[in-house]
A and B are shown apart, each in its own frame.
Chain A
Amino acid sequence: MKRSWYASPYALWMLLFAVVPLLFVCWYAFTTPEGAFTLTNFQEFAKPRYAAVILRSLKHALYCTVLCLVIGYPTAYFLAGRGFNHTQSLVVLILLPMWMNLLLRTYAMMTLLDDNGVLNAALQAIGLPKVKVIGTEGAVVMGLVYNYLPFMVLPIYTVLKKMDYSVIEAAEDLGCNPLRVVTRVVIPMSLPGIVSGITMVFMPAVTSFAISTLLSNGKLRLAGDLIDYIFNQSSNPNRWNIGSSFSLMMLVLILISIGFLRKVDPDNEGGGLW
């Protein structure tokens, strides 16, 4: 058997559950429920709420990505460092939450951060005032960061780990102070990892759903929640068509963003999925 055949189960899987559904989405987006070609589904988006939802999704995904980078880069740098022996166990710790279902993790966060949850009980026990977390914008950003942080740490860690350490030694020998080593050598060399991390965090964050509804008590809904609503709860007879056209628009938005990011990392050194 030829080697290329080994991937055929996967190819078949992708064909059935990625390519075919995508074709369905395209089909529905440009047809009426009766199956005739139309562009009217896209007219729906003249309503102001769609622009508002997209902007809100982009904003929160951006917050999430920046925070993930700020938290994730130092973490990855620390993990990839030479003098550290427990790397494996820490990497496992970072991966550990990903073994659990996203919804379960979000419900756990709700229990921890509720007005009368574990966090507030602890604060009260040591005489501090309660903090309101669940139901705020901050809770949504926090939930997104919590869920997507590993996707930032891992690609950066991979790139830093592969980096030739003698380059850093050379920089030091040539008189670079530690800060300049990081800014002039380490960061530029890990750029592919950063790009990959940003892609892997921003994309799912911008289309995420359920996390936002749950952690904001239903007050802050993102594009994913809107698509979910259109498909599952709307009573509009065109709901599949409108939902599909909105999904398609989000997909185009994501493809454009990936296009931009690829310009920064043309050789795909970040080892990312894209």
Chain B
Amino acid sequence: MKKIAIILLVALLVGALSTAALAEADKPFAGTELKVYNCYDYIDEAVLDIFEEETGIHVNYLNYIDNEALYTRVSTGAEVYDVIVPSDYMIERLIKEDLIAELDLSNIPNLENVLPSLLDPTYDPGNAHSIPYMWGTLGIVYNTEMVAEPITSWTALLDENYAGKIFMMDSVRDTIGLALKTLGYSMNSHDEDELAQAGEWLMAQRDSGVVGGYILDQAKDMMANDEAAMAVMYSGDALYAMDKNDKLAYVIPDEGSNIWVDGMCVPKSSQNKEAAECFINFMCRPDIAQMNMEYIYYSSPIKQVVENLGEEELASTAMNPTDEMVARCEYYNDISDVAYLYDDIWMDVLM
């Protein structure tokens, strides 16, 4: 009787030990601290708790305002981060300057969940350095009650019927980019002559008096409150405005537009690259991506999340543009070598 009890006890102990060992093997990075540096208000923070619980990794979650701020912190080595989430053109620049590491894609099996149209992008061939986190397009939001005809072209922004009710973005790349697109050029033009034409287009638009303003964050509220007829906007902001006002529609003009992707990368200076890849893989898990999409309300690059969208969202150009619409969009490339040209034009338009 006593023997049996001892055997049972030993068996129990062994069992307990082995499950503990199993748990250990399950959490190879337990105790690691990951510094995740992401854009402000750009995650459902509940997913971080899930991640910490599942992996035992402690996440130190930090925020920046925009890509330029991120670049300054990373390039000066002010602090060492493990995961950062820059936009496409910034990823290209960081690769060029050898600041982000090549990823071991075998550690990120969930990459197969990413929409094929977003894989192998021009800014990072083969996704060697970045995994898509959120994405979207640039387009025109318009009020279908105020604007009679459906908009299909950027030239709608010249329509004098809506003088003072057309809002442009206070953003160099986007505004000059759409003018370039209207004239049939690339949004990444390096050509002085093409850029000069785009500048003239914008100045003619300004001088004709149709522009109500060059603004950023206010545009979505103005559209939501029926204060503007049309505004150039990112799809994410468009979704916010359309959520508040049923009369709004979003279009990616026929001439083409910008598609942007924010990608998760690991800086070269990171000491925890494998744990960082584990985090990136986790973020590509359908249930986690779903939580983030619902919180941020931007388009998620994860297939299963797209399949889960409601009928209305699936039909929404802002949330789920068709492959054909995506095909006519281009990513921004790093244009720092001709940035002074863009600057010059932009100051002439604004000042």
Contact = CB atoms under 8 A, between A and B. Distances in A.
A116 B227 contact: yes
B211 interface: yes
A235 B213 contact: no
A221 B350 CA distance: 7
A61 interface: no
B351 A218 contact: no
Interface residues of B, number: 23
Nearest to B167: A217
Interface stretch (A141-149, A226-234, A251-259): A226-234
Contact of B215 (A114, A218, A221, A229): A218
Interface string A203-233: 0000000000000111101000110010001
A49 B348 contact: yes
A218 B211 CA distance: 10
A132 B163 CA distance: 13
A114 B227 contact: yes
A135 B218 CA distance: 12
A53 interface: yes
Given A218-B170, A236-B339, A236-B340, A135 B213 contact: yes
B151 to A, nearest CB: 21
| Interface size bracket, A side | 20 to 34
23 contacts: A53-B351, A115-B227, A116-B226, A116-B227, A135-B164, A135-B212, A135-B213, A216-B213, A217-B212, A217-B213, A217-B215, A217-B218, A218-B170, A218-B213, A219-B206, A219-B213, A219-B214, A221-B351, A226-B347, A226-B351, A229-B347, A234-B343, A236-B340
Given A52-B351, A221-B350, 13 more contacts: A49-B347, A49-B348, A115-B227, A116-B225, A116-B226, A132-B164, A135-B213, A217-B214, A217-B215, A218-B214, A234-B347, A236-B339, A236-B343
Interface of B: 164, 167, 170, 172, 206, 211-215, 218, 225-227, 336, 339-340, 342-343, 347-348, 350-351
